[in-house]
Structure formats: structure tokens, C-alpha cells
Amino acid sequence: MAEGGKPDEGDGGAKSNGIEQAGGIVVVAGPSYVELVESQEKSGQSEKGEETAAEVDSEKTSFAIGARVACLSTWDNLYHSAEVVDRREAKAGFEYYVHYLEYNKRLDEWLPSTRVEKWRPDIVPPLKSAMAEKLSPLVMPALPGLVGPGAVDTQRDTPGTADRKLTRNLKRRYDEIHNVPKPMDELAPLDQSLEKEHEEKTKVKNIQVVELGKYEIDTWYYSPYPEEYAHEHKLYICEFCLKYMKKKKSVERHKIKCELKQPPGDDIYKMTAPFQEKLANAEGTVVEDIPTTTGTDMSPHGKAQQLSMFEVDGRKSKMYCQNLCLLAKLFLDHKTLYYDVDSFLFYILTENDAFGSHLVGYFSKEKYSAEDYNLACILTLPPFQRKGYGRFLISFAYELSKKEGKVGTPERPLSDLGQVSFRSYWTRVLLEILRDHHNVSIKDLTAMTSIRYEDVVTTLQTLNLIKYWKGQYIISVTAKHIDEHLKTLSSQPNWSIDASKIQWTPGITPPIRRPK
């Protein structure tokens, strides 16, 4: 892959104050759950307890890699249990790269030694915070949606119900429904080796900040940019061609000569959507006040937003798609597609104004999938999250499946955000059909939505709207139950796509040759 830009001297950049997110399209870190102990033990006192060489390697209380520590995080300014992943020398001792034990690794960060202390229960209580529940949607709740053998009767009021331990079968069923990744020791030997290699290579976030258009965004994960760019604190990225550079002046010069003002593909869909102001808890600091076109008044709450969907062929626009994958990897943990983009199509969502089409998010799909995957990777960039764009992208993928006359499903494994996003989409679509149509079967739902049979079943199970009777699944639902479930989704943005306006024809799928 060619370089993203000419070699420049990196300026290090300044870290943004973006807020980390997870859950749904985004769940933002909020207030903590406990009041921290303010009093510290007096100087000279030492706490009696276990102290290993892995935790403290000098009298100056420096911590070795692997040490368990208490860290004052930058995202809520509260103490959390953490593990030292890496460290580097600084002017005043060490700086530590830490992983917060109760949270997704997107919150991992470098901290000065002044924010890192030896772990003590009086500093970090051994309780999981409400915030951790939000940022870790894979935490196992009660399972009212499971039916059939081994299901838990959550309606029965019995002592100890809240503390009920999940049976092995029930846990496995939950993991299947929510696509919970298997623990390392349960993977096949080859998969264990690959997972360990992935963890070792990506354990430290290499680029901390990117500036894309008018937004400065904190990154979430490691991305394999070329070596000369891979260790810059901040990268500057052209929002149209996605070329990456080290210095602000380089990207300013590039803007003058960049020929692209939109993705290099076919504009296959346009729509006007109600404009929504960026929520206070969506991530991305505006670093440049760029005027935008006013649009058409749609409601007293805002203005219209012009959107486009572009189809970009990875073989025809290889450089653009490779740059897109490198950018996306900064916000996707297990994404593995970086350079081999020829066999994929990329569907790019943009917000449009007089200055061009600005990247919002995208999904990719294989040109030819034997498993009928209708989506490989999906990403909504942090500044545009919590506006319904994730659901829009998922909905568009299923509209393409309908035009192909196929049943589709996303490629597994899904990320934590992807799991919640797809589950939310499936839930709303199926509930709306059940509300408007009576006496429909699971096969009917699959035919009407292009959602895979198994995805329909697991979604209805989580809603407790399906029963297993004499070897088959039967939908059991009342109008009251549907309305109650739909009310829980009423606050979520819900844009409809006019399929008749999608300017797209399915490609010719070659016959699949199976081994004899």
C-alpha cells in the first residue's frame, strides 16, 4: 500500500476531550456510582498486604507491566481498577498505558504517574459501576426471553431469584443469542494462537487522535498505519480522499489540490432527513467552524439534512478503500481487512453541503458470499453517532438484500456496538410487522424483511414473544405486548428508506463450486 502522505515531521498534536462511547449506537460514560474516599493514609504509613514483584519494582512506587493499580481516569475523573499494559519513561518518572478492568479496551489510555496508585480497596471499591454496565453490554442479565427446555421462569417470585446462577446450557444459549465471544481457553488451538497474536499486536493504541474535516476525534483502538505514521500522537486526514498526514499545514496544502469532494463511486441513493443537532455526549471536538448550507425547513426543531449513499468498488478505488479501512480500524477492535479490498464493495454514507459530501459512516460487504452475509464491517464515526445513522446503514444493507431476493445476516463475530445495533434494528422491524399483520409465521417474517430465520427466532426470544411447542417455534403475541416493547424504542431515531429511489442493480453472482 502506498503511503498516506509525504513524510513530514510529526507535531505530536493535542489530545481532544472527546467522550468514549459504547452500547446501542453509543452509550456515553456518565457519572460514577460511588463517592470516593477523600482521605489518604498519612505519609510514612504502609499498608500491610500482598505485594509482588509484578506490582512494585522500585522504592519510588513505579509499576511493572502487569501490575494491578488504581487509576484516576481522564474520562470521568474517578478511580478505577486497572492493569498496566505498557509504560514509557517521562520527565517525571513513568507514564503508564492502562486497561480498566471493568471496561472495553476502547477506554485504555496513557496516564502520568500522578494518576496511577497502588490498588487498594478503599480507593476502588470491588463493585461494578453503573457506567461499566453501560459500557459493557455483554454483562449477563436475567433472560426473560428464553423459552423451551432450560429456560428460567422469571415471573415466579421465589427467594434468591436475583442471585440465580445461570446453568451451563442457559449461559451457552445467551452467548449464542448475543454473539458473546468465547473465552480464550474455549477456542480451538489455532484460534487461540491467532487471538493471542492479535491481542499482543493491538494491546497499545498507537495513534491517539485524528483530525477529520472539522472534527478532532479520540481514537479507540490500534490501527496498522505504515511505520512512519503509526506512532504519531495525532494524524490529519483529508475527509474526502482519506489521505493521512502528520502535520496540519500538510493537510491544508492538500485541501487546495485534492480533486475529490465525494467518495469515488456511484451515488446510488439520496434523501432528505430531519436535521438533528449533535448531542452533547457524542464524541468529537469541533476544531474548525465551517459554515454549512441551511437546507429546507423540516420542523420547528431544526433543518433538513441532505444525505447520500455511494457504492465504491474496492478493486476500482483501492487506495480510497484501504485508507477507509485504516481509519475504521481506529474504532473497530477485531477488524482484519486493511489492504485486500478487491473482493469487497463499500457503501459510504455522507452528509452533503455546498463544500462536498462529508463522510459519516459506511458498511462493507463481500461481492460474492457463500454464507449470504449482507454486511462485513459497519461503522458510524463518533461525531455522527446517536443520530440514527447506524440503524440507517443496517436498514440499507437489508434493502439491498431484498433487491437481490436473498436473506441476509451480518458476518460474525459482531462487535459489542454492532450486536446492540443489529438487535435494536431487528426488534423494531419485527415488532412493526407483528403490529400491522396478524397470523404471520417466522418464515413470513423472514420473507418480508430478508432477516435470517435464526436472527428472527433469537430476537423474538429476547422479547418473550415466541414459544417452542412440539418441535417448532410458534409466535405468541398480543397487541399490548407489542405496544409496550415499541414504547421502549420510541426515543430512538427511526428513518425510513424509500427503496424505489435506490439506483442499484445486483451484480451477477457466479455459481458456487462446492467440493465433490
Amino acid identity at 127: L
Cα(301)–Cα(310) distance, rounded to whole angstroms?
28
Q: Is the pLDDT at 158 greater than 70, yes or no?
A: no
3-class secondary structure per residue, 400-436:
HHHHHCCCEEECCCCCHHHHHHHHHHHHHHHHHHHHH
Question: b or e along 363-393 (b: 16 or more beta carbons within 10 Å of the residue's beta carbon)?
Answer: bbbbeebeeebbbbbbbbbbbbbbbbbbbbb
- Rounded CA separation 390/396 (Å): 10
Q: Range with the lowest mean pLDDT among 89-98, 187-196, 244-253, 400-409?
A: 187-196
Of 59-68, 288-297, 395-404, minimum mean pLDDT range? 288-297
Asked whether the bond before 413 is cis by omega within 30 degrees of 0, the reply is yes
Tens of pLDDT, residues 238-286: 999 999 999 999 999 999 999 999 999 999 999 997 655 444 445 666 6
* 54-58: long-range contacts, CB 8 A cutoff, minimum separation 24: 55/118, 55/119, 56/118
**Dihedral over Cα of 106, 195, 25, 356: its sign:** positive
CB-side exposure of 390: number of CA atoms within 13 Å? Answer: 27
On the 0-12 / 13-18 / 19+ scale of CB atoms within 10 A, 270 is: middle
> Residues 411, 432, 454, 484: which is the catalytic one?
411
Lowest mean pLDDT among 97-111, 183-197, 450-464: 183-197
CB of 242 closer than 8 Å to CB of 324: yes
User: Mean pLDDT score of the chain, rounded to an integer?
Assistant: 76
At residue 295, what are phi and psi to the nearest 5 degrees? 75, -170
Tens of pLDDT, residue by residue over 329-360, are 999 987 666 678 999 999 999 999 999 999 99
Cell of 246: 502528520
> According to the model, what pLDDT value does residue 45 have?
40
CA 454 from chain centre, in angstroms, equals 23
Predicted structure pTM score: 0.73
Which residue would you say has higher pLDDT here, 235 or 186? 235
Phi, psi of 373 (to 5 degrees): -70, 130
Dump pLDDT digits (tens) for 472-504.
898 988 889 899 999 888 888 778 899 999 999
Strand segments, DSSP code E, in 243-321 are: 244-245, 266-274, 285-286, 297-299, 302-313
Strands 373-375 vs 409-410: parallel, antiparallel or unpaired = parallel
Q: Where are the domains of the chain?
A: 68-135, 209-501
Q: What is the tens place of the pLDDT at every residue in 113-130?
A: 999 999 888 887 654 544
Are 358 and 347 a contacting pair, CB within 8 Å?
no
pLDDT score of 410 more than 60: yes
Cα angle 334-414-454, degrees, rounded to a multiple of 5: 150
- Please tell me the total number of residues recorded for the chain in this structure: 516
Question: Over 90: is that where the pLDDT of 441 sits?
Answer: yes
> For residues 493 and 388, what is the distance between their CA atoms, to the nearest angstrom?
5
Residue-level pLDDT at 47:
42
In contact, 388 and 430? CB cutoff 8 Å: no
Mean pLDDT, residues 17-39 taken together: 34
Dihedral in degrees, nearest 10, Cα atoms 61, 105, 175, 372: -160
Position 430 scores a pLDDT of 96
Q: Are 254 and 237 in contact (CB under 8 A)?
A: no
Contact status, residue 404 vs residue 436, Cβ threshold 8 Å: no
Q: What is the mean pLDDT of residues 29-46?
A: 36
The dihedrals phi and psi of 123, each to the nearest 5 degrees, come to -90, -45
CATH superfamily name and code, 209-501: Gcn5-related N-acetyltransferase (GNAT) (3.40.630.30)
Highest-pLDDT range among 24-33, 73-82, 174-183: 73-82
Query: Where do runs of H (alpha helix) occur along 68-167?
Result: 130-135
The CATH classification number of 68-135 equals: 2.30.30.140
Could you tell me where the DSSP H helices lie in 18-167? 130-135
DSSP state of 309: E
227 is catalytic: no
